[in-house]
Amino acid sequence: MTVAPSIWDERAERYRDSDAHRSGEDLDLMIDLCEPGEGIRALDVATGGGHVADRLRALGCEVATTDAAPGMNPDFVADAASLPFVDDAFVLAATRYATHHFRDIDAAVGELARVASDRVVAVDTVYQDDAVEEAELIRDADHVRNYSESEWRQLFASTGLAVDSCTVMDKWMNLDAWLARTGCDGDRAAAVRELVASRTRGSDWNLPVIVIRGRAS
């Protein structure tokens, strides 16, 4: 069952203010792979705090945003699996830190490919093991699952996207802040900490991310 959008509305400000979301090597690489420029039509799907859209706009792109949660202030309130745009409406489509929430990942990636005439760039946490998946679900009931690099390559290939760049990198995040963003505390937080203990270093923990680009073939 999908968590009601009102829960994401309540979380919106935390994601707008999140250091892990508004900066990072993964975001810098993603923006480079988007190949931004004056007048390029871009779509930011599941925009969240709007950090990708802000960066692309600053570099001259004409950006539209979507999100299923009205509280994220998107230009269009829409599910990623059913985007309200015609084929090839944009030069590029991008999404960051959202696909692990998508209930129908195949449909969502298909929609990204459908509305982008040239390139799709996606960033998200990458599958590690069952312990991390369990921790993710305890922390956030809206988590569906992370995907491995091979699964990502297959998702892109199945929609006709030819992968021309794929990087997996470490992402160290403050564990307290990561838990607080979804209101995870008490016994739930203790259970998460135990599950990810082997991945922690001081107050931070490592949840690697994938940055992948596919081009329309």
| 53 has a pLDDT exceeding 90 | yes
| 181 has a pLDDT exceeding 80 | yes
pLDDT band at 166 (very low <50, low <70, confident <90, very high): very high
Average pLDDT, the chain: 94
Cα separations in angstroms, 133 against 20, 79, 94, 188: 19, 23, 24, 14
For range 50-66, the mean pLDDT = 97
Q: Which pLDDT does position 3 carry in this prediction?
A: 41
Q: Which pLDDT does position 18 carry in this prediction?
A: 78
Burial of 174 (0-12, 13-18, 19+ CB in 10 A): middle
For range 70-98, the mean pLDDT = 96
SS3 64: strand
* Sheet (strand 172-174) strand order: 172-174, 204-206, 200-201
- Min mean pLDDT across 11-25, 26-40, 95-109, 134-148 is at 11-25
Angle, vertex CA 170, rays to CA 7 and CA 167, nearest 5 = 100
| 110 has a pLDDT exceeding 90 | yes
pLDDT band at 160 (very low <50, low <70, confident <90, very high): very high
Q: Which pLDDT does position 117 carry in this prediction?
A: 98
| 171 has a pLDDT exceeding 60 | yes
0.75 cut: is pTM over it? yes
Question: pLDDT tens digits, residue range 3-41?
Answer: 444 677 778 778 877 777 888 999 999 999 999 999 999
SS3 letters across 103-148: CCHHHHHHHHHHHEEEEEEEEEEECCCHHHHHHHHHHCCCCCCCEC
Domains and their CATH numbers in the chain: 5-127+143-171+206-216 (3.40.50.150)
Cα torsion 128, 7, 31, 108 to 10°: value is 70
